[in-house]
Structure 1
Amino acid sequence: MPWALPLRWSPWGRPGVKALVTAGVFVTTLWNMRFFLNPSKGSGEELKHREPLVILVWEWPSKQVPSVSRDVCRELYSITGCQLTTERQLLHQADVVVFPHSSLQPGRDKLPKEKLPGQNWVWVSLESPSNTRALAAWNKTFNWVMTYRQDSDIFIPYGKLVPNRSATVNIPAKTSLVSWVISNYHRTQKRAEVYKNLSRYLHVNIYGKANNKPLCKDCLLSTISKSKFYLAFENSIHRDYITEKLWRNSLLAGTVPVVLGPPRANYEQFVPADSFIHVNDFGSLEELATFLKTMNSSRYRQFFAWQRRFSVKLYADWRERICAICTAYPHLHQGRLYPDLKSWFNS
């Protein structure tokens, strides 16, 4: 610092004590002023953002748009320092912009013309790769991804088990063996093939649009709960793709899930190994059918042992999912860009 050199020595060539004190005060003053001139930096790690964080949802992910106030994250989930908005005119104020994949169809004409400096864009999808089209058009567009995949920047599962010390097991009364709720039935799907072969050996009570037996929202769980087992068959098989068919229709309803989806080891990353039955556990569907039909009550109760330690938490409100960005933000890689979104999602 050249400006400090004359202050270190008096005109007589000896250290000037008064000058040294004055220099010290001057340097200290400048050091303190830096916090006011540039408040985003401190003596330690640089802060990632100054509150509040503004998140703009470009289009709401579901058809039903709930009431969304700017302080909804604080009001509903006690998450502070974060504001949520769906008002596109506030794009220039947004730190994060959220784009559900459904809003990206058919192309870029519905997106902002350009990304503002320092702004991060988030790609959101709860669908599997098999049901997600036109991803190749979005290379080098999004900074972060928000999906059911555990390796997402923002992980949003369909549900999870949370600790619960109730130490009680609640098994609803049973009047049937197996049930299945299915709306989109396609013969080319793996689950259609498995059901067709399994139904040769046991009867399955089918509900939903595919069988012209739709269930009202309030009677869904009460109807399913009367069955001992539920076919939690996913519409496609991909890593971590474990949907409400397991969390809501099976575990929350109080029935044992018979799952068709990713390998057993993947399911066990989410739920205890003794809480479900995997189709792949058996050499044939006839063996599976025999296992279900001949199970005694003692063995059946063992599938509910998880209830002594856990309860089911469903993620059904998109406001809670979007607010998850607030808590994840300080740990996210700033400026990251996905060069090939399709390759990542299909990996």
Structure 2
Amino acid sequence: MVLPMPKVHRLRNYMALGSIFVLLGLGWNIQSVLFTSGSEQAMTTSQDVYTTVLIWHWPFHHPLNISGDVCLDLYNIKNCKLTDNRDKLNLSDVVVFHHRELNEKGHYMPTDPRNPAQMWVWANLESPFHTKNLGKWNNVFNWTLTYREDSDIFMPYGQLVPKLHMQFNTSAKTSLLTWAVSNYQQTQKRVQFFKEFSKYLNVDVYGKASKKPLCSSCLLPTISRYYFYLALENSVHKDYITEKLWKNSFLAGSVPVVLGPPRENYEKFIPADSFIHVSDFASAKDLAEFLKSMNIEHYERYFRWRQEYDVKIYNDWRERFCLICSRCPHLPKDKVYSNLEGWFMGNS
């Protein structure tokens, strides 16, 4: 073991750079994946057009407070009204449907004649593997809201944003590698990888699958004690990069070892030197030897991006729905997904 334990050489605090200079000097094209900031969304949403978004059903039946001007107050998006009152169907510009509830027993779609000017949005953040019965929704929806970059409303699990403050501290590292997992199935590619990899390197496993569950407030402090985190997706699909990287790794301050889409897919959203991809190595044994032999100078290179960027996590469905308003002026009004299943299941 080359990395010092338990004492770690702390990363230096860096002077924050102005976002304009950051973007000009950046070697990889973050402009292609960044959302506009809240203030820019407020400016680009027309002052004369007020958009009402009807939430037909709350994702996972967890309603949130949408009283007042929630989009403006929380996300600086003007002229956007969220409602979950189905009596306002005919007064709504957009109706958004979350996929999971579409398949539940007793679910029903609006029965009133549909206003041809009203846009319907299909919302889903699950991977194709966990998205069922898509075929019956062909020719229903106008727009999509998903983690896929080619969605009409692109909604990743997280993103890097220009750094606005100077501080970044890492907790003292006491151990090498950890993984938190609840959904553990023998057929998963990540489980097959883990079984082979754990022959060569010990991994501290937490979560329901290991009968060591972590409370929500315990997760990040626990992971932060480790140099590396196994950010292994439960299925491999285009752009499917979840909170396992954004939250469990980046927010916790541990370097992610990822298993998911190809490396070039990750590099659309994060710097090439911010993560380790399992496909970079010929075998699980080679990866284990690489992690065990790493020195502190090499380790610190994985944090260079933090000189210029912070991590923003998207986990509030209100923000996701407010974003529909800022995207509306830029989306086609005559679009229909005639083959929603083919679009979402293809190129995965």
TM-score range, shorter chain: 0.7 to 0.9
Provide, for residues 268-292 of structure 1, a one-character-per-residue CA deviation record: whole Å limited to 9, x for no partner: 0111000000000000000000000
Match of 2:332, SS? coil
Q: Does 1:286 align with 2:299?
A: no
Q: In structure 1, what is the equivalent of residue 56 of structure 2? A: 58
> How much is the aligned-residue C-alpha RMSD, in angstroms?
1.7
Q: In structure 1, what is the equivalent of residue 336 of structure 2? A: 337
Shift of 1:210: 0.7
Contact kept in structure 1, 2:47 and 2:79, CA below 8 Å: no
Q: 1:311 to 1:49 in 2, by over 3 A?
A: closer
Q: In structure 2, what is the equivalent of residue 201 of structure 1? A: 200
Match of 2:187, SS? coil
Q: Partners of 1:317 and 1:189 in 2: how far apart?
A: 28
Q: 1:338 to 1:275 in 2, by over 3 A?
A: same
Match of 1:184, SS? coil
Match of 1:110, SS? coil
Q: 1:178 to 1:111 in 2, by over 3 A?
A: same
Contact kept in structure 2, 1:207 and 1:214, CA below 8 Å: yes
Question: Which structure 2 residues correspond to residues 1-347 of structure 1 after superposition, within 5 A?
Answer: 51-69=49-67, 71-106=69-104, 110-113=108-111, 114-164=113-163, 166=165, 170-347=169-346
TM-score (norm 1): 0.84
Provide, for residues 2-23 of structure 1, a one-character-per-residue CA deviation record: whole Å limited to 9, x for no partner: xxxxxxxxxxxxxxxxxxxxxx
Contact kept in structure 2, 1:55 and 1:83, CA below 8 Å: yes
Shift of 1:117: 2.4
Identity score, percent: 53
Contact kept in structure 2, 1:225 and 1:254, CA below 8 Å: yes
Provide, for residues 231-276 of structure 1, a one-character-per-residue CA deviation record: whole Å limited to 9, x for no partner: 0000000000000000000011000000000000010011100000
Superposed structure 1 runs of 4+ greater than 3 Å apart:
47-50, 106-109, 165-169
- AA matched with 1:275: S
TM-score (norm 2): 0.83
Shift of 1:165: 5.6
Contact kept in structure 2, 1:166 and 1:309, CA below 8 Å: no
Contact kept in structure 2, 1:167 and 1:307, CA below 8 Å: no
Shift of 1:64: 2.8
- AA matched with 2:277: H
More contact order relative to length (CA 8 Å, sep ≥ 6): 2
Shift of 1:107: 7.3
Task: Point out where structure 2 has 5 or more consecutive residues left out of the alignment.
Answer: 1-44
Provide, for residues 92-127 of structure 1, a one-character-per-residue CA deviation record: whole Å limited to 9, x for no partner: 101100000012114795111242221110000000
